[in-house]
């Protein structure tokens, strides 16, 4: 693969406006691979044999802020304890690498980290199952520093429909709308990746703060339910939120969408969860790949999405959410967290200005978090914490 | 420091609390030099740290998840705390019995959220305190300091990560009972690791309700004094949470603290009964190892701690021992936990131990 000519310029831009990445599943990978034994996967060292992510490659990739996902699987008997362990993992990572990682709760913290040359470390919860239908638990997660929550993961929750499950609520239930309002009041960003389009629209109708898509691309470019329809992208400028383009090949490249459907069937046939990334599961994946070559997404595939999202939502509503360590496969050239400069170079070659790229990489994400803080400050002055229950609102 | 009640009445801002205070009938002044007057003077400077506050029980009949703020009787209770000369309290996070074990972590987060809601709704009366220093700060501002805990061991779901997260949310006391690692046989290897991690974080161990074996092991292992948040003397009253003379002596030797409750089941119904237990615990464990817990007896309309302290003075307690009982001992234990944590964090990393490794179940 030849490196694009603009790569040096891209690296220069990222030194000033580093990448804010919306979604990285390193905590889950550490849980699954080494049960959180941080000595066994020391991310200060090269871990490319095991992980997409380590500090040297984050540095090489020009990453200045990372939303670490505290995702847990929705089929656990109780997601709350597992989510707390994920939060503990992120906090231990930050404490372990004080010269590289900086705990960030606010937009001001992000700027402070950038000024110090450290990587602002934020947390996002992935899936409403992590709050177990409780606004008290939601506030607890916020108190622990979780700054966004994806309303669903791959399965519906009791109060919101997922993009990849059978429609049930038809979007958000009354309790689901109360969850969104309480997130607004807490200053926790409403993340609409993974949710059904009906849920996206209901959330946009309900929220008084900007929303995010922490890792989603454009449905008009690749017709997968995990991607964002144009009518929703077009509502982002009025909302002030942002869509953070994801790299996951099975969402961004149509041939990969089809290939993945077949590969998932194969995983299930061998008794593995399709998202399992343990060595045994990956062996099954690779055997399948030998019989049927995997279509390869590239930097250009992702850039195509960004070009379209820019048309639909405008350059003020874009960001990046790679989903590293949360996906088995990555596009060529964006193989791990060191790849972002290639995407920026590709966009430069397509005529994106430095000012626009600064918005894409850094400025939009900082603005959105700051706006959510402002909304929360106003709401807390006028409204007490909600003690509504799902029973009282959804019957 | 000014008398808490006087300071409350001098507050400029009007509020429900103030209105109630002004409409309350004036208490008759005790004669100068009487035990009552000395008790009031001592309590003004050394208010009670209440080891098992009655305050959360004001909420116990409410559906705990649909608390209606402002209509919960908390205002009345804050006033009673002040009249009872309570300067700080432990807010128990015990879970309602109908909560199943697998819901314990979420339910504990909800309890913590509830406390925060109540404290935030009463900024004139209550303030959360995360350290001994913050307890002093709250008192200097005329607020009742709220220390979060004890929570039951089930709240950890057998995870040191969850212990660390609950500490971050403010938890400062954990009861070593109600989990596989703190049973009748005492602390398991994982249980000992939990206690070491508690020492590292600054979470006090509460052994009220723990087995005798757990209590003995915790006293030996802990690098900072342990608490019994609601235990009286077993030789006077045979309640399972009460401590035998042998354990009281061990507790005293380890400079731990037995917070004697005022409950009919544990200490007996009257002021005299509670005073008998306090006499006994002071005699066996020593004046540095006795404190107060729970609603003072004979509270009813009038708060009871001043009466209890007057009784102890009548029984010949030196004033220095009374001030240790109400305020000093608990301050020492809280401060010791903070110091031990600071020292331990230099030596120890967060423990990544898991119960499946330390307590394998080969059955």
Contact B119, B128 (CB under 8 A): yes
d(CA A325, CA A215): 13
The DSSP symbol for A389 reads -
Give the model's pLDDT for residue A5: 76
Residue B23 binned pLDDT confidence (cut-offs 50, 70, 90): very low
Using CB atoms, which residue from A84, A136, A384 is nearest to B110?
A: A136
Report chain B residues whose CB lies below 8 A from the CB of A95.
350
Residue B180 binned pLDDT confidence (cut-offs 50, 70, 90): very high
Please give the structure tokens belonging to residue B144.
């009742």
Nearest to B211 by CA among B241, B248, B231, B237: B241
Lowest mean pLDDT: which of A388-392, B91-95, B281-285, B348-352? B91-95
Q: Does B123 touch chain A (CB under 8 A)?
A: no
Sheet holding B257-261, edge to edge: B126-128, B144-148, B86-91, B48-50, B290-293, B257-261, B227-228, B204-206, B173-175, B151-152
- More confident call, B67 vs B42: B42
Residue B21 binned pLDDT confidence (cut-offs 50, 70, 90): very low
Report chain A residues whose CB lies below 8 A from the CB of B102.
77-78
Report helix, strand or coil for B334.
helix
Nearest to A164 by CA among A149, A150, A151, A153: A153
d(CA A263, CA A289): 8
* Average pLDDT score over residue span B79-101: 82
Q: Does A144 touch chain B (CB under 8 A)?
A: yes
Chain B interface disruption, residue of A38, A90, A140, A142, most B CBs within 10 A: A140
Residue with tokens 């790299």: A247
Q: Are B113 and A385 in contact (CB < 8 Å)? A: yes
Give the model's pLDDT for residue B263: 84
Low-confidence ranges of chain A (pLDDT < 70): 1-2, 4
* Tally of residues, chain A: 395
Cβ under 8 Å to A: B residues 81-110: 102-103, 105-106, 109-110
Q: Are B169 and A143 in contact (CB < 8 Å)? A: yes
Lowest mean pLDDT: which of B17-21, B106-110, B226-230, B356-360? B17-21
Give the model's pLDDT for residue A184: 98
d(CA B291, CA B293): 7
Residue B63 binned pLDDT confidence (cut-offs 50, 70, 90): very low
* Average pLDDT score over residue span B278-300: 83
pLDDT over threshold 70, residue B277: yes
d(CA A367, CA A349): 26
* Average pLDDT score over residue span B56-76: 50
B112, closest residue in chain A (CA to CA): A140
Instruction: Give the CB-side neighbour count of residue A354, counting CA atoms within 13 A.
Output: 10
Ranges of H-type helices in chain B:
4-9, 16-23, 35-45, 74-83, 104-121, 132-140, 160-168, 189-201, 212-221, 245-253, 271-285, 305-314, 319-323, 329-347, 355-358
Q: What is the pLDDT of residues B125-170, one digit of tens each?
A: 899 999 999 999 999 999 999 999 999 999 999 999 999 999 999 9
Q: A251 vs chain B: nearest CA distance in angstroms?
A: 34
Task: Say if pTM beats, i.e. exceeds, 0.80.
Answer: yes
d(CA B101, CA B355): 17
Cβ under 8 Å to B: A residues 74-103: 77-78, 80-81, 84-85, 87-89, 91-92, 95
Give the model's pLDDT for residue A2: 62
CATH of domain A7-253+297-380: 3.20.20.140
Nearest to B89 by CA among B131, B133, B49, B39: B49
Within 10 angstroms of residue A137's Cβ, the number of other Cβ atoms is 24
Q: What is the pLDDT of residues B113-124, one digit of tens each?
A: 988 888 888 888
Please give the structure tokens belonging to residue B176.
């070593």
Q: How many CB pairs (< 8 A) connect A and B?
A: 84
Give the model's pLDDT for residue A395: 87
d(CA A17, CA A114): 8
> Catalytic site residues of A?
23, 25, 126, 153, 194, 215, 323
Domains of chain B: residue spans and CATH: 34-349 (3.20.20.140)
Report chain A residues whose CB lies below 8 A from the CB of B162.
81, 84-85, 88
Residues of chain B with pLDDT > 70: what percent?
83
The pLDDT mean for chain B works out to 85
Residue B14 binned pLDDT confidence (cut-offs 50, 70, 90): very low
By CB atoms closer than 10 A (0-12, 13-18, 19+), residue B140 is exposed
Q: A391 vs chain B: nearest CA distance in angstroms?
A: 11
By CB atoms closer than 10 A (0-12, 13-18, 19+), residue A265 is exposed
Give the model's pLDDT for residue A377: 98
Please give the structure tokens belonging to residue B104.
């314990």
Give the model's pLDDT for residue A262: 93
Domain locations in chain A as residue ranges: 7-253+297-380, 255-295
Beta bridge partners of A146: A123
Give the model's pLDDT for residue A387: 87
Please give the structure tokens belonging to residue A125.
């919860």
Within 10 angstroms of residue A208's Cβ, the number of other Cβ atoms is 14
Give the containing element (helix H, strand E) for B205. Answer: strand B204-206
Q: Does B121 touch chain A (CB under 8 A)?
A: yes
Q: What is the pLDDT of residues B26-58, one digit of tens each?
A: 556 778 889 999 999 999 999 999 987 655 555
């Amino acid at each position: 693969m030849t490196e694009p000519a603009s790569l040096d310029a891209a690296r220069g831009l990222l030194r000033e406006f580093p990448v804010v990445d919306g979604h990285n599943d390193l905590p889950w990978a550490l849980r699954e691979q080494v049960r959180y034994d941080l000595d066994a996967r020391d991310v200060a060292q090269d871990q490319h044999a095991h992980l997409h992510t380590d500090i040297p490659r984050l540095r090489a990739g020009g990453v200045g802020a990372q939303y670490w996902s505290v995702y847990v699987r929705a089929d656990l008997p109780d997601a709350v304890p597992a989510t707390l362990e994920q939060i503990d993992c992120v906090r231990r990572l930050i404490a372990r690498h004080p010269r590289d990682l900086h705990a960030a709760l606010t937009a001001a913290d992000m700027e402070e980290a950038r000024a110090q040359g450290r990587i602002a470390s934020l947390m996002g919860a992935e899936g409403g199952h992590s709050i177990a239908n409780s606004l008290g638990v939601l506030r607890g997660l916020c108190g622990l520093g979780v700054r966004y929550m994806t309303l669903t993961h791959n399965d519906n929750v009791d109060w919101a429909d997922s993009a990849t499950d059978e429609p049930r609520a038809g979007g958000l239930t009354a309790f689901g709308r109360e969850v969104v309002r309480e997130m607004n009041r807490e200053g926790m960003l409403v993340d609409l990746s993974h949710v059904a389009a009906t849920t996206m629209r209901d959330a946009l109708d309900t929220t008084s703060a900007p929303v995010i898509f922490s890792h989603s691309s454009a449905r008009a470019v690749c017709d997968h339910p995990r991607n964002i329809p144009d009518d929703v992208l077009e509502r982002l400028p009025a909302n002030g939120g942002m869509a953070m383009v994801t790299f996951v090949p099975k969402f961004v490249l149509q041939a990969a969408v089809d290939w993945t459907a077949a590969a998932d069937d194969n995983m299930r046939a061998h008794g593995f969860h399709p998202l399992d990334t343990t060595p045994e599961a990956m062996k099954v994946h690779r055997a399948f790949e030998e019989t049927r070559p995997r279509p390869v997404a590239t930097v250009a595939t992702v850039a195509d999405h960004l070009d379209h999202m820019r048309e639909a939502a405008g350059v003020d509503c874009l960001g990046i959410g790679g989903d590293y360590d949360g996906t088995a496969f990555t596009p060529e050239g964006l193989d791990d967290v060191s790849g972002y400069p290639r995407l920026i170079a590709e966009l430069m070659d397509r005529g994106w200005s430095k000012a626009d790229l600064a918005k894409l990489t850094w400025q939009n994400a900082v603005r959105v978090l700051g706006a959510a803080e402002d909304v929360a400050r106003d709401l807390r002055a006028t409204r007490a914490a909600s003690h509504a229950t799902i029973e009282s609102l959804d019957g | 420091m000014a008398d808490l009640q006087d300071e409350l009445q001098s507050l400029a801002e009007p509020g429900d609390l103030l209105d109630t205070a002004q409409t309350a009938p004036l208490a008759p002044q005790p004669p100068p030099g009487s035990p009552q007057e000395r008790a009031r003077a001592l309590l003004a400077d050394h208010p009670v740290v209440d080891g098992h506050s009655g305050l959360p029980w004001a909420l116990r009949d409410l559906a705990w998840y649909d608390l209606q703020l402002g209509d919960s009787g908390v205002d009345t209770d804050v006033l009673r705390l002040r009249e009872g000369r309570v300067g700080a309290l432990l807010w128990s996070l015990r879970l309602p019995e109908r909560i199943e074990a697998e819901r314990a972590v979420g339910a504990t987060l909800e309890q913590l959220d509830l406390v925060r809601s109540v404290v935030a709704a009463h900024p004139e009366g209550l303030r959360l305190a995360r350290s001994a220093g913050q307890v002093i700060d709250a008192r200097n501002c005329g607020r009742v300091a709220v220390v979060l805990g004890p929570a039951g061991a089930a709240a950890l779901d057998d995870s040191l990560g969850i212990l660390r997260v609950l500490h971050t949310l403010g938890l400062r006391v954990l009861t070593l009972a109600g989990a596989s690692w703190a049973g009748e046989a005492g602390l398991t290897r994982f249980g000992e690791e939990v206690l070491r991690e508690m020492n590292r974080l600054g979470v006090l161990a509460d052994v009220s309700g723990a087995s005798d074996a757990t209590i003995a092991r915790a006293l030996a292992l802990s690098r900072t004094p342990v608490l019994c948040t609601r235990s009286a003397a077993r030789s006077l009253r045979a309640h399972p949470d009460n401590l035998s003379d042998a354990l009281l002596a061990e507790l005293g030797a380890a400079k731990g603290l037995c917070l004697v409750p005022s409950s009919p089941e544990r200490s007996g119904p009257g002021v005299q009964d509670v005073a008998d237990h306090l006499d006994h615990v002071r005699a066996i464990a020593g004046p540095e190892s006795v404190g107060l817990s729970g609603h003072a007896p004979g509270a009813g309309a009038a708060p009871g701690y001043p009466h209890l302290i007057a009784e102890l003075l009548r029984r010949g307690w030196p004033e220095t021992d009374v001030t240790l009982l109400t305020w000093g001992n608990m301050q020492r234990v809280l401060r010791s936990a903070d110091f031990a944590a600071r020292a331990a964090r230099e030596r120890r990393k967060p423990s990544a131990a898991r119960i499946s490794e330390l307590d394998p179940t080969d059955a």
